Structure 1
Amino acid sequence: MKHTTKRMMAVLIAAAFALLAVIYVFTNQNETKSGTDGSSPAAQSSQPNGNAPGADGQTDKQAGANGAAPSADSKTKPAPQDELQPPAEKLDVLVIGSELEGLYLARAAADEGLKVKVIDPRAAFGGQVLQGEMLFLDETRDDQHRLLVQGRAKELFDGFRQGKIRKLNEFEQYFAKLTQGIPVEQGVKLEAVDVQPGQFDGGEAVKRLTYRTKEGQLRKVEAAYWVENTDYAAFASKLKVKRLPGLEAFYGQSNIEYMSAGMMLKFKNVDWARFQQTFNSMPTEERRAKYGWGSIDNSFAIGLTGMTNKYKPTSDRLFLRGLNAVHQRDGEVLINAFLVYTVNPADDASVKEAMELTKKELPLILKHFREHAIGWEKAELNDTPNYLYIREYDHYETDYVLKPSDMLGAKMFWDNVSIGGYPLDLQGTSANKWGIEMGRPDKYGMPLRSFMLKGYDNVLLAGKNVGASAIAYGSARIQPNTSLAAESIGVILGQIHGKKQLRELKEADMPALHSYLASKYSIKLTGVTGNNKLTGWTADEIAKLDTGEIVYAQYVKKKQK
């Protein structure tokens, strides 16, 4: 009996070892067939431009640009077992970034019944408005001073003009209302973009995005449409994009440079009533000697360059230009006038350095205002924004790239998604600190095609990412222009859902969509005629205008002599 029991135990032990061996072989075979993300090698995430992601989510190219060589281990280290195949969330629209303009698209698409989500690589919500505190809103008006602001943005701009929405908490309430019911994730890290062959003109389509949450969790999302809505093209720059020439080409510089960034100036304890009253009661010559050209009313102070020009900054990278100042109520004043040059919005170190540089200057600017502006004797700094006001980053080629001649020629398009207006205002760079105005359009159309990234079926550009030449961007970038476009596009996506893709839209499809926008949202995009300021110009003159060889105002005066 003892011998029988021993034989049975030996057989059981041998069988157990055999089973373990089979499991080991089977597991290794599956791991060999699968990539490190659990997919077959052919289906693994493609990195546009041939750049593989490092462990920190950067491509080799990006890591090199930041001064650090990519780690060899970063490419081969497998992901933890629980991250191999996170389930992909399915969406109709994914908006990347929380700048105001793209939020109008998200809101409109959600209201039209689409499944929408916002993810943002920035740690905090609200972009240039809430984080940069660019709370001085520029309206768009035509030559007859008629307001061009339409859509949901009109509530914001009306509230600002009327003094109801001027302080940060009031803007925060507006943003909360705008995004109510729309999921928003902050502080994400974009890791990989999967693309597949597109259906139109030999292009591609984005299929999937892999990102990490701020807690470090790996997530995947698939969407019908992707919207670039950051101030540094965090998503679009990962694709096969063509950068359009920037202001460096206009100024003849060899290095890429963007319009100056800004640090918004915040003051408290300002006696605005005295500031206004003494300015307006001064004899003209005395006022001009003290303040230069400008105006002050109950709400706004504009210009006053005679005062600002007297300020000498401590760095050549800094400049105090004429004021765009708003009285926010209760002695609080916010000013858009303090510029910092050579900032790269896509480089965290560049932004951090610029913020430190500008913050050191603030006490000196306060002292200058106290000494040179009546009513400012007891003024104090009222904290500082969390971020810079970023005016510009790279412009990428879209299906249609807006030109200065489109704007000054009052061109309207069959696929209008906005009616724009505003001077061709090129803010300063290190090459021209004051900047330059290249002309003043009456009004013009902005086509859907200027917000569709060239070469991709389903990638849209919002806000400052609009497809425009460096000169045309001076006008196109203004918030009411691109906010209306974004809202119109969000509505259109809802209306064509399940029927057509955006790239399938033809001229014959637009009247019905324009009619719907007008009837339901009071957005008028057709039947608008602007003042063509290029009537009689030759093709050669128009070509020189578009390249910047001709500055409109100067050239017109010369022609009239």
Structure 2
Amino acid sequence: MQARSRTVTAWINAMLVCSLLLFIPQATADAAKTFQTQTVVSATVVKPSYDVIVAGTDPEGVMAAISAARNGLKVLLVENRPRNVLGGLMTLGWLNSIDLNKSPKISREFPARYLNGGLFQEWYNLIGGTSFDVRRAANAFAQMVRNEKNIDVLMNVRSMQPMMEANKVVGMQIVSANGTAQTVRAGAVIDATQDGDVMAAAGVPFTMGREDIGDPVSRMAVTLVFKLKGVDDKAWQKLKQHRSPGGGGSDGMSIWGYGDAKEYVSSDPTRVKIRSLNIGRQEDGTMLINTMQIYDINPLDPASLQEGIKIGQKEAPRIVDYLKKKYKEFATLQYAGTAPELYVRESRHMLGEYRLTMADLMNNRDFWDAIAYGSYEVDIQSFTHAYSGAIVMIPEQYGVPFRSLVPQRIDGLLVVGRAASFNTLPHGSARVIPLGMATGQAAGAAVKLAKDYKMSFRELSKSQSGIAELRKRLTKQGMDLRMVKFPKPSYAKHKYFSGLLAVTSLGAAVGGYGNDKWDLDGPSNPLRLYNTVQAFHRMFPEAFPNKFSMALKELPKEKPLSLKQAAYIIALSAGLEATPETALQVIIDREIITNDFIKGIKNQAKLTNGEAFMIVRGTLKAIANVEYT
């Protein structure tokens, strides 16, 4: 989670403070004694069959189970990690500051409402703020599950594997904590594991990390959240009043900022560093800090995950010492440990019936089969110590299609949360937990509808009438599936918007928090174009088989990019025979650009970014037959 980009308006801050007074006791040690974390007790008897099995007890899985149960289905909620509470990343990864999907027009209701509503809103009203006490969150999840008589919970199983009949998942093979093996049949399975473990085991195709943009090795950094104690009201107010470079902000339970904290030099800068601080207050005189970035951790390798935890546990006390020395506001606080689990941002991305794209987010696209909506910034965290991460852009509102929950090839299975069918760049927005909880609610309702209609999920994903009924049912069950009206963003009105879509989809341009860093009318330069076309070879090696290189002396950073230079770089990238003098005619002949486009260029000796982006777009279309729309 990056430092928050959009400051919540004053009236929402006031309402949140009021809600805290209603829902949360004062943050003192005495108040902390008023409640304890409620551990989850596994069912003593697991039935031989259920209507649906939900794999994974992260928030997305909890909501899927509750949704299915409220739709009258018999549910088994099963977990194969060593957990004794519900809520996973929020309650054991200690990610207690929520990346909220704000409506383009924030509702003036109390408590404040955000996109999707539904079960997420029901849970959010119980925890009382933009950050929360992890015990209260765990208890809210537990209470919501306990209220549903149709849910059996099975924790700490040794293994859970999909049971297959041809290309259909028909249940799970489960080995319980005591070693008992059991075959449990089900009409459907919902994979809500963080990494899409069930769908991978079932043979669903997927990509890893940034593979879809030609980088199969890199993944966003993982984080180990740590805790500080001694946070009374006086200390909290001092923390909120701090002002540092890079800006920041706060509300009743959250602080984001301290941007100059990233000056910290770690014990191994290639493996771990910190960025600005995201701080969430708890009710027991503690606060949790999300700042650490740990590199080269394989989220699918238990040994690598354990290494990540050890790195974080070693580094956390050093970070706290640094904060105490650098900021007087931290001087009285004490280190109080690290989270039981790592915060992993990215691993598998399913290939579903539809894959969410950057063009969808940049167009703020609605879908006929939208079952949830997102609006969080496209937050690409650092994936190497040498790269600080980026906000690619901030959408107003976009839909998540039901088809993005339906895997290719395999039936009887839905996938929710961050492992659903999202390209890696839009995943930077769609991975946030509130949106994942909405996909969980939609999946639970879809299992019931598919059963009623005697349809497979794939058939349902292609049925206009079936999806219309699903959206109708979800609306009756508290979800808000309306697309808010808002003006078209200025970048989308630009005559070279189609070029911007192409370059941003390559991962070669960012708009930042203001959606303005693309600088479409500003001057381009040869090095920027050269770096952009390197993506051609990574993403489309068949169309661009020969990676080319140019002497950097031919690509001076300070020089503006001319049309002649651009044509030569493009011709070389596409493997076309050309000289600096003939390249322009060569790319015209290959229909990469047209004479009409050339006539529209303001200054051929000084191309703008927008004009360069259009040449990139034309190259992809002419050489690789790829368009981003």
Q: Return the TM-score normalized by structure 2.
A: 0.68
Distance across 1 between alignment mates of 2:77 and 2:233: 40
In structure 1, the partner of 2:96 is 135
- Aligned amino acid, residue 212 of structure 1: V
Does structure 2 retain, via aligned residues, the 8 Å contact 1:295–1:303? yes
Instruction: Indicate yes or no: 2:267 matched with 1:314.
Output: yes
Does structure 2 retain, via aligned residues, the 8 Å contact 1:401–1:450? yes
Q: Which has the larger radius of gyration?
A: 1
Residues 338, 235 of structure 1: CA spacing in aligned structure 2 closer, same or farther, 3 A cutoff?
same
Instruction: Indicate yes or no: 2:117 matched with 1:150.
Output: yes
In structure 2, the partner of 1:543 is 502
Q: Which runs of 5+ in 2 are unaligned?
A: 1-45, 108-113, 524-629
Distance across 2 between alignment mates of 1:380 and 1:160: 25
Distance across 2 between alignment mates of 1:120 and 1:444: 31
- Give the 3-state SS of the residue equivalent to 1:365 in structure 2: helix
Instruction: Indicate yes or no: 2:509 matched with 1:558.
Output: no
Equivalent residues in 2 for 1:99-138, closer than 5 Å? 99-124=58-83, 125-126=85-86, 127-138=88-99
Does structure 1 retain, via aligned residues, the 8 Å contact 2:208–2:347? no
Distance across 2 between alignment mates of 1:377 and 1:555: 38
Residues 482, 192 of structure 1: CA spacing in aligned structure 2 closer, same or farther, 3 A cutoff?
closer
- 2:318 pairs, out of 359, 364, 378, with 364
Partner deviation per Cα, 1:189-238 (whole Å, 9 max, x = no partner): 336544234xxxxxx21124322111111110111111111122221121
Q: Which moved more, 1:418-427 or 1:187-196?
A: 187-196
In structure 2, the partner of 1:82 is none
- 2:187 pairs, out of 206, 224, 227, with 224
Q: Which runs of 4+ in 1 moved over 6 A?
A: none
Instruction: Indicate yes or no: 2:204 matched with 1:241.
Output: yes
Distance across 2 between alignment mates of 1:492 and 1:438: 32
- 2:350 pairs, out of 382, 396, 408, with 396
Distance across 2 between alignment mates of 1:462 and 1:318: 30
- Aligned amino acid, residue 169 of structure 1: R
In structure 2, the partner of 1:183 is 152
- Give the 3-state SS of the residue equivalent to 1:551 in structure 2: coil
Instruction: Indicate yes or no: 2:172 matched with 1:172.
Output: no
Q: Percent identity?
A: 24
Does structure 1 retain, via aligned residues, the 8 Å contact 2:256–2:276? yes
Distance across 1 between alignment mates of 2:464 and 2:375: 24
Does structure 1 retain, via aligned residues, the 8 Å contact 2:247–2:257? yes
Shift of 1:509: 2.6
Does structure 2 retain, via aligned residues, the 8 Å contact 1:189–1:213? yes
In structure 1, the partner of 2:545 is none
- Give the 3-state SS of the residue equivalent to 1:206 in structure 2: strand
Does structure 1 retain, via aligned residues, the 8 Å contact 2:103–2:484? no
Shift of 1:244: 2.5
Shift of 1:409: 0.6
Instruction: Indicate yes or no: 2:423 matched with 1:438.
Output: no
Does structure 1 retain, via aligned residues, the 8 Å contact 2:257–2:278? yes
- 2:479 pairs, out of 511, 523, 546, with 523
Shift of 1:538: 5.3
Equivalent residues in 2 for 1:338-377, closer than 5 Å? 338-377=292-331
- 1:406 pairs, out of 337, 343, 360, with 360
- Give the 3-state SS of the residue equivalent to 1:154 in structure 2: helix
Instruction: Indicate yes or no: 2:285 matched with 1:331.
Output: yes
- 1:490 pairs, out of 444, 447, 462, with 444
Distance across 1 between alignment mates of 2:509 and 2:183: 49
Shift of 1:391: 1.3
Residues 91, 474 of structure 1: CA spacing in aligned structure 2 closer, same or farther, 3 A cutoff?
same
Distance across 2 between alignment mates of 1:169 and 1:88: 30
In structure 1, the partner of 2:225 is 264
Does structure 1 retain, via aligned residues, the 8 Å contact 2:92–2:339? yes
Q: Return the TM-score normalized by structure 1.
A: 0.76
Does structure 1 retain, via aligned residues, the 8 Å contact 2:163–2:172? yes
Instruction: Indicate yes or no: 2:467 matched with 1:510.
Output: yes
- Give the 3-state SS of the residue equivalent to 1:235 in structure 2: helix
- Aligned amino acid, residue 93 of structure 1: V
- Aligned amino acid, residue 185 of structure 1: L
Does structure 1 retain, via aligned residues, the 8 Å contact 2:211–2:217? yes
- Give the 3-state SS of the residue equivalent to 1:98 in structure 2: coil
Partner deviation per Cα, 1:332-377 (whole Å, 9 max, x = no partner): 1111111211212221101111111110112211211221222322
In structure 1, the partner of 2:174 is 211
- Aligned amino acid, residue 117 of structure 1: L
- Aligned amino acid, residue 115 of structure 2: L
Does structure 1 retain, via aligned residues, the 8 Å contact 2:129–2:253? no
Residues 232, 496 of structure 1: CA spacing in aligned structure 2 closer, same or farther, 3 A cutoff?
closer
- Aligned amino acid, residue 153 of structure 1: F
Partner deviation per Cα, 1:37-73 (whole Å, 9 max, x = no partner): xxxxxxxxxxxxxxxxxxxxxxxxxxxxxxxxxxxxx
Distance across 2 between alignment mates of 1:185 and 1:495: 25
Distance across 2 between alignment mates of 1:121 and 1:330: 30
Partner deviation per Cα, 1:66-88 (whole Å, 9 max, x = no partner): xxxxxxxxxxxxxxxxxxxxx98
Distance across 2 between alignment mates of 1:184 and 1:531: 46
Shift of 1:530: 5.2
- 2:427 pairs, out of 454, 473, 477, with 473
- Aligned amino acid, residue 340 of structure 2: N
Distance across 2 between alignment mates of 1:302 and 1:192: 41
Does structure 1 retain, via aligned residues, the 8 Å contact 2:191–2:197? yes
Matched pairs, number: 458
Shift of 1:399: 0.5
Shift of 1:408: 1.6
In structure 2, the partner of 1:63 is none
